Amino acid sequence: MDDYRLPSDHPGNFRTYLDVREAPDGEGKWTLLSPLLYVGNTDSFTVPAGFRTDFASVPAIFRSLVSKIGAHTKAAVLHDWLYHERPFVQAAFGVVLPISRKDADGIFLRAMRESGVGWWRRTMAYQAVRNGGLAAWNKARAQNS
């Protein structure tokens, strides 16, 4: 099993490297070895060490268009964590609520843009999570219940 440290030429608002190790269970998951810190304009998130991700959940048929690993990888890990953990964020009028699926997808889009992902690829990835992410959102909710 190898450890990987995935830097980025365009780190955007990510303040740390992505340090991961392939999980030994053969499910295609990777475990973060150190926290991944994202600092946005209004929110910041820390994906903790130990979190497991599959990077971008791209069906095999679409991998020629959008790969599992690339400039979007950190954004995909953050998105996985937002879906799984549903952290609390500040909403309108100072109200604090669990993040919505729409907001998690929007942060994914913004993080990809900030990381230098081209318009076409980030739009494809964003539309994929908006149109196909409900099952993953519901699965994460059931696992956390």
Give the model confidence (pLDDT) of 53-71 as tens digits: 988 876 666 667 667 788 8
The per-residue pLDDT for range 3-58, each reduced to its tens digit, is 555 555 445 789 988 999 988 887 788 999 999 999 987 788 999 999 999 888 76
The per-residue pLDDT for range 102-138, each reduced to its tens digit, is 999 999 999 999 888 999 989 988 988 898 888 889 9
Distance CA 21, CA 18 (A): 10
Distances (CA, A) of 109 to 79, 106, 142: 9, 5, 25
Structure tokens at 70: 């690339």
Pick from 39, 118, 129: which is nearest to 76 by CA?
129
pTM of the model: 0.86
